[in-house]
A and B are shown apart, each in its own frame.
Chain A
């Protein structure tokens, strides 16, 4: 079964850092563009970041630009999100998402990041 499994979510203080990981299985990870999408408690979906299959191209939402860094290791079939200078408003469930046919076709179960003092 095609699957994405996130990890790394935790409670962190404002200004702190956290690294999220996502492990892919049962598909050729290196062939797909990947994304992070987040959802604050009780709120809608917010796209966070995108990385091309070769890592050559990355994009970020304005709300995280300069603070978050997306990366991938195709040999390990893994996607990462390094989050620095975390803010209370970054509190959300973070989803690792595969992109295919210009849509987000496979979603992980999500990992919760809570930023609070």
Chain B
């Protein structure tokens, strides 16, 4: 059981937009910044979004992040088949003094 809650799967057609939610509590998302990671099978995760909505160098602006209260959202526009991957949200939990992740969301581009 993950501290942060994500939908197990989402799907959309190529070219469309999809959003992935991440729900937490005041001690984690409420008090700390959220980051998002993309992971392809057999490879290490890759940072997509940090500080709730910032993109590292090299990440296309098709990827966006937002946070409101104790929830965060990853948005992906102009979906491509190459975006099919697992996506994880993460943050720090101030009460647990621990890093926490969501359970991951598998994106399927139909």
Residue positions of A touching B, CB distance < 8 A: 35, 37, 44-47, 50, 59-62, 95, 100-110
List chain B residues, Cβ under 8 A from A45: 37, 39, 45, 88, 90, 101, 104
The reply to whether A105 and B92 contact each other, CB–CB distance below 8 Å, is no
Check if B99 sits within 8 Å of A50, measured CB to CB. yes
Contact A104 B90, beta carbon cutoff 8 Å: yes
| B51 CB contact (under 8 Å) in A37, A101, A104, A107 | A101
Most central of A59, A95, A108 by chain B CB within 10 Å: A59
Most chain A beta carbons < 10 A, residue from B45, B86, B97: B45
User: Would you call A44 and B97 a contact (CB within 8 A)?
Assistant: no
Chain B residues whose CB sits within 8 angstroms of the CB of A100 once the complex forms:
50
Q: Are A47 and B50 in contact (CB under 8 A)?
A: no
User: B35 at the A/B interface (Cβ < 8 Å)?
Assistant: yes
Interface size on B, residues (CB 8 A): 28
Residue in B closest to A48 when the chains form the complex, CB atoms: B99
| SS class, residues of chain B in contact with chain A | strand
Q: How far is the CA of A62 from the CA of B96 in the complex (A)?
A: 9
Q: Is the CB of B101 within 8 A of A102?
A: no
- Count contacts between A and B, CB distance < 8 Å: 66
Docked pose: A110 CA to B40 CA in angstroms: 14
- Kindly identify, within residues 15 to 49 of chain B, every residue whose CB is under 8 Å from any CB belonging to chain A: 32-33, 35, 37, 39, 44-47
Name B67-108 residues within 8 Å CB distance of A. Answer: 86, 88, 90-92, 96-104
- Please determine whether A102 and B37 come into contact, CB atoms closer than 8 angstroms: no
Residues of B within 8 A of A101 (CB): 33, 50-51, 54
A47 to B97, Cβ gap below 8 A?
A: no
Whole-angstrom distance from the CB of B10 to the nearest CB of chain A? Answer: 15
Contact A102 B32 (CB under 8 A): yes
Q: A59-B97, A102-B35 are in contact. Are A107 and B104 (CB under 8 A)?
A: no
Q: Is the pair B98, A59 in contact by a Cβ cutoff of 8 Å?
A: yes
Q: Which chain B positions have C-beta within 8 A of A108?
A: 44
In order of increasing CB-CB distance, the 9 nearest A-B pairs are A47-B99, A103-B50, A103-B35, A107-B44, A44-B104, A45-B101, A101-B50, A102-B33, A44-B103
Residue B56 CB within 8 A of the other chain: yes
